[in-house]
Structure 1
Amino acid sequence: MLMTLFALTPVILVSACGYLIARTGVITGDQWRGVEQLAYYVLFPAVLFRTISQADFSSVPTFNMGGALLATIVVMAAFLLLFRPLTERIWGIASYRFTSIFQGTLRWNAMIALAIADNVAGDLGLAMLAVAMVFMIPILNILCILVLSRYASGTTPSGAKILKDLYSNPFIVSIAAGVVFNLTGLTLPQVFDNTLAIFASAAVPIGIICVGAGLDLSSLRRPGPALTMGTFLRPLLMPLVAFGFAWIFNVTGPALSVIIVACAVPSASSSYLLARQMGGDAKLMAEIITLQTLTASVTIPLALLLYT
């Protein structure tokens, strides 16, 4: 539990700084939009490209891990989509709010996972987490963009609009470029790698600050069905499903621990940025991320205890 707390405490503190910056008016509403777009179009794509382009997949059970993770994502996404009409009928959760439940359940904060995986399995854990990033991040971004494209507007988008949302999304573009570069076997020149490292180092803190800025603490004091589902479906249900598929794909030892970590950490701060850019419920998304982060010091050790 202590290693999880050490990994999460800086995230909580930086998010709190974002909340204070927004409430004191140091950065105003229009200025926040510029900060968010910088993180969305430049900083996070730099993280994704640099990590994936340099990942070494030869020393880990790449395809077994990938199969278990992809199966987990598909099953969880199908469950959420089948469950969506029921949430609207029983609890009145509008479609655009459902997009935040979807992102909050499926997406993951790879930076927190990196810190925990390093403590759990050292350098081998980091290599395995790179595998998780390659298999999880592209499919999750595609699914979330499709869901936001369909449900944030309340109307069924055309095939052309869906394709445009995908090929124009900076996350998808950077992931695809990273995979292609990795397959070539080339190495980034040191000067370019150092440049990307500078961008990457700014991505996480700025993303977390934006999450804190969008937070409404009063909603955390009176969580409704949308916030409750968006917060707890991920840490309680997703590790269980992942454990089942890890058993099917014969993933054990440190690789199993990394899978559980990847499926138990809070949702990504970039989920908030995607919700802002595509018309989802960004306020609900910020609340889900914050509450998941606050409870993760209990839910992550619990998941590791139960499933590894």
Structure 2
Amino acid sequence: MNFFELLLPDFSLILCGYLLCRHSALNRQVWDQVDRLVYYFLFPVLLFHSIIKHPLDWQAARPLMGAGLCMAAAGIALAYSLPRWPLLGNRIERRLHAAGAQVAFRFNSFIALALIDRVAGPAGLPLLALLIGLLVPVFNIGAVLPMARHAGGRLSRELARNPLILATASGLCANLLGLQLPDGLTPTLTRIGQASIALGLLAAGAGMQLGAMREGKALSLALLTLKHLGLPLLALLMALLWQLPELPTRVLLMFAAVPTATSCYVLAARMGYNGAYVAGLVTVSTLLGMLSLPLALGLLVHW
């Protein structure tokens, strides 16, 4: 299977979003509203619907949850440890590291949800939703801790109000209770899901910025290498250790290899750090995803 050709249509939408934002009347102000629409309504509906319509085998899902948590913990630990690495540590400015460490382990849920059907089919979406619900709080805490001096106690409120976590949690509860949605709602919910994928990819492209990356070149290289090489290798290692079947392995590898979250630079700027530097990292990560995703998924050829 040629994974690059498989993913090219979705990355083409990212490019379209970038070009529309920079070279048309659909400027940054328009895409800020699209971001909110996708994040607060379209993607939560997609997550909830995907979970409730596919009953989960919880016994079978436990190894994937364990592998995902171990991968997340290892990725966060590696990102935190960079200032202590020989030859690298004395070249890292601590405030830049505090702001940028999150880039090495967070993920772009827009791109992940858009790609999952192509990569793993309909059965992969509930597994991805489970990983999102499980790991979004872990990664958000990991992102904030290095910048904790400016956190001001807002983390717990943000997690409690995160629409992706709320949609996943409510969908899982409904799944456990065996609840079903009326058949008449299915066409509407399906169309909302389709709209969320296209708009999410366009918004991801519109959010790319070539920020101030002249400083912290060694740190940038280390963080992006961890994100696009280290994390997929960790995912493969955890899949082996937890003896995951082919489908959960595919989902975990894709999850690890997608670009970092576009909200990284928003969080850094809001907490008083160098948002422009982090925006540059996010942009390069989005571009690198075009290489890391096909390479990571190509590992399954020899699975």
TM-score by length of 1: 0.79
Gap change, CA 1:30 and 1:88, over 3 Å in 2: farther
The corresponding residue for 2:92 is: 91
Deviations 1:171-203 (A, max 9, x none): 111111111111110111123333222222122
State the distance in 2 between where 1:150 and 1:84 align: 15
Secondary structure of 1:109's match? Answer: helix
Of 224-233 and 170-179, more deviation after overlay is shown by 224-233
Of 213-222 and 237-246, more deviation after overlay is shown by 213-222
The corresponding residue for 1:296 is: 292
Gap change, CA 1:242 and 1:29, over 3 Å in 2: closer
Choose the corresponding residue for 2:140, options 130, 133, 145: 145
Shift of 1:94: 4.1
- Give the counterpart letter for 1:91 in structure 2: I
The corresponding residue for 1:46 is: 45
Choose the corresponding residue for 1:163, options 153, 156, 164: 156
- Give the counterpart letter for 1:27 in structure 2: L
Q: What runs of 5+ residues in structure 2 fail to find an aligned partner?
A: none
State the distance in 1 between where 2:211 and 2:151 align: 33
Alignment of 1:21-60 (within 5 A): 21-58=20-57
State the distance in 1 between where 2:193 and 2:111 align: 17
Tell me if 1:14 matches 2:13. Answer: yes
Choose the corresponding residue for 1:117, options 115, 120, 123: 120
State the distance in 2 between where 1:284 and 1:46 align: 30
2:21/2:206 contact within 8 Å kept: yes
State the distance in 2 between where 1:186 and 1:275 align: 39
Deviations 1:245-282 (A, max 9, x none): 33332334454444434433x236xx214653774746
Gap change, CA 1:11 and 1:220, over 3 Å in 2: farther
State the distance in 2 between where 1:107 and 1:207 align: 5
State the distance in 2 between where 1:109 and 1:201 align: 14
Gap change, CA 1:16 and 1:156, over 3 Å in 2: closer
The corresponding residue for 1:276 is: 266
Alignment of 1:176-195 (within 5 A): 176-195=169-188
Gap change, CA 1:253 and 1:304, over 3 Å in 2: closer
Tell me if 1:232 matches 2:225. Answer: yes
State the distance in 1 between where 2:202 and 2:108 align: 21
The corresponding residue for 2:72 is: 73
The corresponding residue for 2:207 is: 214
Shift of 1:34: 1.4
- Give the counterpart letter for 1:140 in structure 2: L
Shift of 1:21: 0.9
The aligned length equals: 293
- What is the identity percentage for the equivalent residue pairs of Structure 1 and Structure 2? 21
Deviations 1:40-94 (A, max 9, x none): 2111211221122223223983222332222222222232233367677523334
Gap change, CA 1:47 and 1:253, over 3 Å in 2: closer
Gap change, CA 1:252 and 1:210, over 3 Å in 2: closer
The corresponding residue for 1:243 is: 236
State the distance in 1 between where 2:301 and 2:264 align: 33
State the distance in 2 between where 1:76 and 1:57 align: 27
Deviations 1:2-37 (A, max 9, x none): 1x1232111221111111111223213322221211
Tell me if 1:101 matches 2:104. Answer: yes
Gap change, CA 1:108 and 1:140, over 3 Å in 2: farther
Secondary structure of 2:150's match? Answer: coil
Secondary structure of 1:61's match? Answer: helix
1:215/1:286 contact within 8 Å kept: yes
